[in-house]
């Protein structure tokens, strides 16, 4: 009887969490659309922001799928990874986009990309690298749920960074 009740509770918590994840993704979509919009519709980059969001979501799906393929357990707490990586990915994306915008418009696209990466790339590398290392260290826990969370989070953060 207790195992059936536990399974019901885990299932109910997972479905409630799914609604929260979808609402959060919608809010982040709206935030990115607003962040990349400009009064001049020709220079507005709303589509660029939304495509960046899609890339982040694909990285999350790929990372979780890779974790499942590597037999890392998917626990209810793993849903938190979506929020974590969504925030990291959007922050990295905005920093890189702003760095690109600050580059000299007279330069070629390749040179502007190189300039943006030289200014913001170190920040993105250090923040993502230290986060991945922290999750790998956390995966050495004796608690199975914490171990699985650390491994999943490290994999998803790495895929998001790449």
% pLDDT > 90, the chain: 20
Does the pLDDT value for residue 1 go beyond 60? no
Contacts 24+ apart (CB under 8 A), 57-61: 57/25, 57/86, 59/85, 59/89, 59/156, 59/159, 59/160, 59/162, 60/85, 60/86, 60/89, 60/156, 60/159, 60/160
pLDDT digits (tens, 9 = 90+) for 87-138: 898 888 888 888 888 888 888 888 988 888 888 888 899 999 999 999 999 9
> What's the pLDDT at 17?
66
Query: Running DSSP on this structure, what letter comes out for residue 78?
Result: G
Taking phi over 0 as left and psi of -120 to 50 as alpha, with beta for the rest, 71 belongs to left
| Stretch 4-28: mean pLDDT | 69
| Stretch 79-91: mean pLDDT | 86
Between 5 and 156, the higher pLDDT residue: 156
> What band does 154 get if pLDDT is binned at 50, 70 and 90?
very high
Of the candidates 101, 38, 28, the residue with the CA atom closest to the CA atom of residue 60: 28
> What band does 10 get if pLDDT is binned at 50, 70 and 90?
low
pTM of the complete model: 0.76
| Token pair in block for residue 1 | 């009887």
> What band does 157 get if pLDDT is binned at 50, 70 and 90?
very high
> What band does 16 get if pLDDT is binned at 50, 70 and 90?
low
Residues 6+ apart with CB under 8 A from 25: 53, 57, 82, 86
What does pLDDT average to over the chain?
82
- Distance from chain centroid for Cα 41: 28
> What's the pLDDT at 2?
52
């Amino acid at each position: 009887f207790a195992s059936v009740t536990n399974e019901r509770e885990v299932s109910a918590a997972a479905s409630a969490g799914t609604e929260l994840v979808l609402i959060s993704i919608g809010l982040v979509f709206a935030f990115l659309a607003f962040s990349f919009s400009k009064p001049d519709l020709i220079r507005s980059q709303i589509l660029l922001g939304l495509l960046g969001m899609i890339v982040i979501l694909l990285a999350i799906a790929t990372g979780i799928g890779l974790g499942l393929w590597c037999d890392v357990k998917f626990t209810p707490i793993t849903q938190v990874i979506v929020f974590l990586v969504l925030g990291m990915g959007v922050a990295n994306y905005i920093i890189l986009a702003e760095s690109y915008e600050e580059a000299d418009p007279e330069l070629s696209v390749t040179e502007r990309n190189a300039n943006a990466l030289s200014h913001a790339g170190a920040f993105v590398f250090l923040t993502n690298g230290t986060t991945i290392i922290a999750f790998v260290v956390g995966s050495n826990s004796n608690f199975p749920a914490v171990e699985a969370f650390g491994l999943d989070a490290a994999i998803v953060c790495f895929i998001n960074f790449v």
